[in-house]
Amino acid sequence: MTSTKPINLAVPVPGVSAPVDLRVPVPGGPVAPGAIGAIGRTFHRRELACPPAICSFSSAQGRQLFKEALGAGTAEASFSLLEHFHTQEDPSFCGLGTLAMSLNALNIDPGRIWKGVWRWFNDDMLDCCEPLERVRQRGISLDRFCCLAKCNGAEVEMHRPTDPGEELESFRHRLIDAVSRVGGPVFVVAYSRKAFKQTGDGHYSPVAAYHEENDAALILDVARFKLPPHWVPVPLLWEALKYIDSASGLARGYVLLSRPQVPPSMPGDGLLSLALPDLHDLLLAVDGVRRSLVANDTPVQVLRALHKGLSGLSPLVRCSVDAEAKGSAALSELRGCTMGLLNQDCGAEAGDASCGNSCAGEALKSLVDMLVLPPTLWLPPELLMGSMARVLDIDRLPDALASEVIRLRTQISCELEKYSDQSAEARKP
């Protein structure tokens, strides 16, 4: 006979004078009257539907598949991913949880503090392209996911099944190549759970391994409160990418995330190159800028503050020696693109420089510095969205200029990482 006797737990709740009595039914019994009434129905995980999934990672079959994949060299990506396996921090944060896990697995330095003295990626730090509250309400699109990855230092290669030339074979080939490598790229799938008869719809997670005989991929599901890591058939995973995202009207897809491998800038690297001042001075200057900014500052006010903060330093960007004429044109175009957005922020018509000139004055010479400095290095979190996000969004730039900005941002990050390592070494007794 099924027992209905509840276990009474008196739980102190902040702000409530008397303990709250949560009535939890014994295993196998129905929920007692009034149990968890304010929340409604609750769940402790879901049962993995097999099929269409093959099996869970920890099952006897799952362990055997993993052992064979390791032997075949198609589970190399699993080590760094499992080291950083992360549960998304909110039911809607699968994209953010996947990205935080991937960035940490790629050993990318966020350049800002998580807690204490530690620089580390966490879901709630990933807000430079989409406010967290908006993600909490409706998740994140594939385009915004890629934007977040770029602005946090990763190289991004995005594919949709509807792209020209995309087919199951190319998907399988890229997946196998990624999971067979140590150090990246991380292979992320944005798919519909419906294809696997799982509750919910759109979901993100990284893939850690491939088993050839079963043509199966190991998904490290970041919703660990819901489902365990599990093996799925690659052809069905491909079909799961084709489901339409109702928010964007586009198919879902997959992304390869990589750690940038860009050496310090040298003449000939591109149209533009860095002319970094003393890094200690630069860090002091941008820290002063960061402290001077407030949440309601407009982009023009931010530009003016940056110009003032960097006034004692030389410009960060110059034309490359081997491409001086083209570099000069690139600098002008970068200034023009950003000037247009500053004018829009002031309410002026695009192309009317009067607003930007009157608002920013001499600060206009810092426009390119504002673009190439990694935003998280000098902007407080509350300014990493809204109108400032539009001004600094490299996706609005022509491809050639966007590549230049990404390359320069990456080089600054690499130089700062090297400086940080050298400083830490010098402090050792």
Active-site residues: which are they?
Answer: 94, 203, 221
Residue 145: how many other CB atoms lie within 10 Å: 28
Whole-number Å distance between alpha carbons of 55 and 44? 19
Radius of gyration of the chain (CA): 25
DSSP code of 349?
P
Residue 210: how many other CB atoms lie within 10 Å: 27
User: Who contacts 14 (Cβ-Cβ below 8 Å, separation ≥6)?
Assistant: none
**Nearest to 96, CA basis, from 256, 104, 178:** 104
Whole-number Å distance between alpha carbons of 414 and 426? 18
Residue type, 407: R
What is the sign, positive or negative, of the torsion defined by CA atoms of 152, 154, 159, 164?
A: positive
Whole-number Å distance between alpha carbons of 171 and 162? 12
Cα–chain center distance at 293: 24
Q: E-strand spans in 139-281?
A: 155-159, 186-192, 202-211, 216-219, 230-233, 244-245, 250-251, 253-258, 272-274
Q: Which two tokens stand for residue 170?
A: 């190319």
Residue 343: how many other CB atoms lie within 10 Å: 21
Whole-number Å distance between alpha carbons of 90 and 84? 17
**CA angle at 218 for the pair 215 and 222, rounded to the nearest 5°:** 150
**Nearest to 339, CA basis, from 389, 391, 376:** 391
DSSP code of 293?
-
For strand 250-251 and strand 118-119, is the pairing parallel, antiparallel, or unpaired? unpaired
Helix (H) or strand (E) holding 64: helix 60-72
